A and B are shown apart, each in its own frame.
Chain A
Amino acid sequence: MNVRTGAGVRSLARIVARDDGRGGTSLPVLESDGPLALRRTRATGSEARVMLVGAMSGPLGGDHFTVEGRVEEGARLSVGSAAATIALPGQAKGEARYDVRLDVADHGELHWLPEQLISAQGSDLYVTTRVELAPTARFVLREEQVLGRVGEEPGRLTSRLTVRVAGQAVLDQELACGPGAPGGWDGPAVLAGHRAVGQLVVVRPEFAAEPVAATVLGEGASVVPLAGPAALVTAVAPDALRLRRLLEEAFASLPRA
C-alpha cells in the first residue's frame, strides 16, 4: 500500500498477535510496507517478538506513516525497533505524520518499546499514538524524543499520546516543541533547555487496587499513578543516553509484574 505521490509517501504496516493455543503467540498478520519493515525475531516463552526495521530513512515532510498493532485475547507481543527514527525535512512541503494505533484485548499483553525519535533540524512531524486496552490487558509503552542530532537545532515535533482502558482515557497528553511550536516550550515550565524527553506508560489491572506510590528521581523524573490502572514515568534529560537511564531506573522502581 506504499504509494509515492507528489505529497510524500503513505505507508501502513500491520501486526496482529494471536494466542496459538499451545502456550505461544502466532502472528497471523505481519505486513510491512515500504519504509516500514517488520521482522519477526526469536520468541521468548509465550511472547512473540517483532522488530520494526527502518528500510528507508524516517518520515520526511509530506510522508504519512501508520503502524497498527493488535494483540488478541491472551496473546503476548513485544515490539522494538532496530534503530532510532529520524524525522527529516523533505522535498514535499508540509508536515509529516506518524500514527501508531494499538489495541490489546483481555488477558493480552503488549510491550511497545521503540528506539528514540530524533527531530532533525528543519523537520516537521506530528506523531499520534492511540492505545485502546481491554480491562484486563497489560501494557508497557516507551516514548523518547530527542530534539536535534548532536549540536543541531531541533525540528518541529508535536506528539499526542492517548491511552484508554475499557474505553476510558487514563492519559491524554500532547507535547509540542521546536521552532514554530507555541511559545515557552524550551522555557522553565516545559523543557528548560533539556534536549531529551520521554514517557513510560505501564498499565496493569492490579494497579486499580494497588496504585504505584508517587515518587521523584532527582529533579528530572517522576513516577506517578494515573487516574486508572496505570502508572506514568515522565522524564527530561540533557541527552538520549541519560534519558534512557532515567526511564530504566524508574521502571526498575515499579513493583515486579
Chain B
Amino acid sequence: MSRAALLVLADGRFPAGGHAHSGGAEAAVKAGRISGAASLGEFCRGRLHTAGLTAAGLSAAAALGIDPVALDRAADARTPSPALRVAARKLGRQLLRAARATWPSAELDALGREFPKGAHQPVVLGLAARAAGLGPVDAAYCAAYESVSGPTSATVRLLSLDPFDATRVLARLAPELDRVADRAVEAARKAVGEGVDALPAGSAPLLEIGAEVHAAWPVRLFAS
C-alpha cells in the first residue's frame, strides 16, 4: 500500500468534478444560514456528523469489498432527496472515469457496467481507494474530508470568504474528522458480517430540504 496514493485521491485537483458541487452550502448561504467563517464551521460540523459519516461508512464498506450493489441501495435509502441522489450518481460517474484512468481495475470496470448512469459517489470512492491499494480507513477519511472541504471551498467563492479563515475551519474540524472516520470504519467492519443495515444513516433535515429548494432555482452557481 502506498500512503501517497491517498494524497492523489484526496487532492481537490483530482479530476472528479467535485468543484461543481457545494454540498448544500449554496442553499444555506442564500437562506442566510451561512454568513461567515463561524456559521460555515457549524455547517461543516453538522454535515460531517450526518451526511459525512454516512458517506464515510459507505466508502469504508466498499473498500472492504462489500457488494457495491447492496451499498448503492443502502445509499439510496439514506438519501431521501432525489436532487441529492442525482448529484451523488453524477459525481460517482465522474469519479469512476477518473479512477479507471488512474488505477485500472477489474472491479472498477465491473462497477461501470453495473451502473452505466453512475453509482453513488461514496461507493465509487471506496472502490477507487481499493483499486489504488488503499484501505477502509483511507476511504473513510477521504469521504469525511470531502464532506467538509467541498462546502468550504464553495463558500469561499459564494461569500468571498478569506481563504485563511476557510482553511482554519477545516483544520479545527480535524479531531472530529478522526472520530467520524473511526466510527465509519468500525461500522463498515460490522457490516461485513451483519449486512449494510449496520452502516451509519446520519441525516440532516435542512440539507435534505435545502437540496430540493436549491434544485428548484432557475439559476445556480453550483450543481448541488
**In the complex, chain A residues 79-94 whose Cβ is within 8 Å of any chain B Cβ:** none
Q: What residues of chain A have their CB less than 8 Å away from a CB belonging to chain B?
A: 160, 162, 168-176, 182-185, 187-192, 197, 214-216, 219-222, 224-227, 232, 234-236
CA–CA, A214 and B79, complex, Å: 14
Across the interface, do B78 and A172 meet the contact criterion of CB distance under 8 Å?
yes
Contact of A173 among B33, B53, B203 (CB under 8 A): B203
Residue with the highest number of chain B CB atoms closer than 10 Å, among A170, A183, A220: A183
Range, interface on chain B? 35 or more
Interface segment among B69-77, B97-105, B106-114, B161-169: the answer is B69-77
Does any Cβ of A come within 8 Å of B87's Cβ? no
Across the interface, do A188 and B28 meet the contact criterion of CB distance under 8 Å?
yes
Chain A nearest CB from B6 CB (Å) reads 24
Query: Which residues of chain A have C-beta atoms less than 8 A from B79's C-beta?
Result: 227
Across the interface, do B80 and A187 meet the contact criterion of CB distance under 8 Å?
no
Report the 8 A-B pairs with minimum CB-CB distance, sorted nearest first: A184-B46, A187-B42, A184-B45, A189-B46, A188-B33, A182-B49, A227-B76, A169-B77
Contact of B201 among A174, A227, A235, A236 (CB under 8 A): A174
Known contacts A169-B77, A227-B77: A174-B45 contact under CB 8 Å? no
CA–CA, A47 and B87, complex, Å: 41
Does any Cβ of A come within 8 Å of B34's Cβ? yes
Does any Cβ of A come within 8 Å of B56's Cβ? no
Chain B nearest CB from A231 CB (Å) reads 10
CB<8 Å pairs between A and B, sample of 16: A175-B205, A176-B49, A183-B48, A188-B28, A188-B33, A189-B51, A190-B46, A190-B207, A191-B205, A191-B206, A214-B83, A215-B212, A224-B81, A226-B76, A227-B76, A235-B209
